[in-house]
Structure 1
Amino acid sequence: MSAVPPVPGYDGNDLAGVLPRVVASLGVRHSPYAEMLPALEPARSAVVVLVDGLGLELLRARSGHAPYLRSLLASSPAQRGTAGFPSTTATSMGTFGTGLPPGRHGLVGYVVRDPARDVLFNELDWIDGPNSLTWQPNPTAFEIAGRDGVDVTMVGADYFDGSGLTRAALRGARVLSAYRLADRVDLALAALRGKGRQLIYLYWGDIDRIGHTSGCGSLQWVEELERVDAELSRLARALPAGVSLTVTADHGMVDVPFADRIDLAADADLVAGIHLTGGEPRALQLYTVPGAADDVAATWRERFADDAWVLTRDEAIAAGLFGATAAGVDERIGDVLVAMRSTACVYDSRTIKPVLLELVGQHGSLTDAELLVPVLHAPAS
């Protein structure tokens, strides 16, 4: 489909605006975010929780299992945000951590091309990736807050500390690690007992993990939502006076039937003209051989018709899918982009990790189920 797809809102009410608005609420001086609207109420300290994979449509549909989050849905004035494109964790962490759209921070996909080496690398695990600080040189919200005297703490898994993605998108925080969500909540509460202004970022990934392995329509997914809701409720009740709480997510998810999956390894027409296949199954980034981009786009548009949005790189940038795009970042983006509208996905069994072929829940595209995320805020008491 060649029609212009839905464009994420990069307007301060999206995922890019979450940390900037929280940082501004802490009174950080000389913050580039100070004028972002709508402003949050001032707070002495703040906790920001990102629940990986908890899309807004999923939360609304299952809100009966999440009484605390349901109460935030009812009371938060800005509950609807967009993750940005592609709606995938690596890109969203860049957007969340820097307050910039993907075209500015440069983390433009799950698997992308490094133009300097003409090779693909995975921005999530960063194995054999480029230098994180040159790939994403913009200051993070954590760095900006820290320079103004805010004590910034990230609570998550131990492998976050020093990872390529953390250095690119979330640098500037000390890392505290724990395996169980209850222990992460306890660490967050303990950190709040420190002196001065505190910014605590807590990450939880099991909603996403279970959605991938069992499906976001599964009983296991609902049970995990109930556990998350109970712990967030406990966190909220235990917050000291003067501390705000914000809950968001990096993307949503859809379940993809195995019958709707296409393997590029078995389709000579679709692979014609493609040099490298990046992105992910619901948001492909096709790097073509020289001069083949238009032919590849035409082939994919004819094959997928109304099942996908197919755009050339120039069309995607002009449409604003990545927001304002900095010089050099455009070279990282595929020559042809394919974002799924239906429940279909496309993968290449010759290059994808075998475990990824079995995933039930997937994301990355521009449907509301994947793109919309909750932005829920409880002001300081």
Structure 2
Amino acid sequence: MENNMAFTIPAWVPEGAQRYLAHTETGQSIRDIARSAGCHASTILRQIRRIEMRRDDPLVDAALQSLAEEHFSVNDASDRTVSAFSHNSHVEKEEFNHEALRVLRRLCETGSVLAVAEEMNKAVVVRDTGEAAATRTAVVDSRIAQALALKDWISCDNPGRISRYRITSAGRTALSQLMADFENQARSRNEHGMAEAPSSFHGAPSHATTNRAHPERPRRMRYSAAESPLIALARRRDRDGKPFLDEALVGAGERLREDFELAQIGPQVAQNWDHFLTAGGRGSFGSGDTGNRGSSEARDRVERALSDLGPGLSDVALRCCCYLEGLELAEKRMGWSARSGKIVLRIALQRLKRHYQDQEERSRMIG
């Protein structure tokens, strides 16, 4: 039993899963685990049975299998599979929280599911509007998807060759807590005189503005913080009853967002997009090269799209499509009058749509 103390497990792993692995992988008895945890043996037994029943879920089963191989292997440490996260517990948890925030926010959008195919190392979040083909809104590493399923933040009713996961009530609660935590961190930095310090892309998006009556208190935006501003605008109607943003315009914005997220995949976040912001500013992503070809190609596509939009239009596209800033916050940062942002954003999306059409036409001519 002394050897069991040498095994460590990531901080994001739920308590029930930790106890399940301790029982199944190290051979600890339920009574010993209960004694260490300071609870009754029946409590541990219920937790272990619940985890065992959830192994029918392919993501949950894969997560437990990976954790067992990586953290409970009897082989020499040099032969173990390298974890998707840092071995530093604090860094590990922060990285997981950043990714969880990004994915859960996308899954909160109407009609969104996480699609996972067998033997694929990536999953995708797709949004089905019912009017056209599903739109891909995020790419997710399979290890992140496994962790979300193990924590019961996403669930699948009918696993198969392609399993579709939806956010659970526990996932929505976790999303609210994650956003609150990141807000508190940002507020703490500001209170300590670090308002101008660089912030990474993975930080929580700004979704609160200043309350005019009480400048020190944040005020909630009109749209849901868990949604893209484009989705909220697409639900609005013009005077003639047509959607303010049609599916093609939303698709153009989502395509920019997808490339933007792909550009961040790599050993480190490397790109600085601040030179496209004509007013205000955001923290940089740092410097360096990821060395990832896929990330580099996506970064080039984003660069070409923003360059084609030009000053002003690239600013609002970057803020609203990529940073997911609300229109009120974007208007305030760029010094625009109230309610003018949605008009400029629609113009930007129209230009962006034309840019992608031109790119496709050039590709056909080259081919």
Q: TM-score, normalised by structure 1?
A: 0.25
Q: Hey, which of these two has a bigger chunk of strand by percent?
A: 1
Q: TM-score, normalised by structure 2?
A: 0.26
Rg bigger for which structure? 2
Q: Hey, which of these two has a bigger chunk of helix by percent?
A: 2
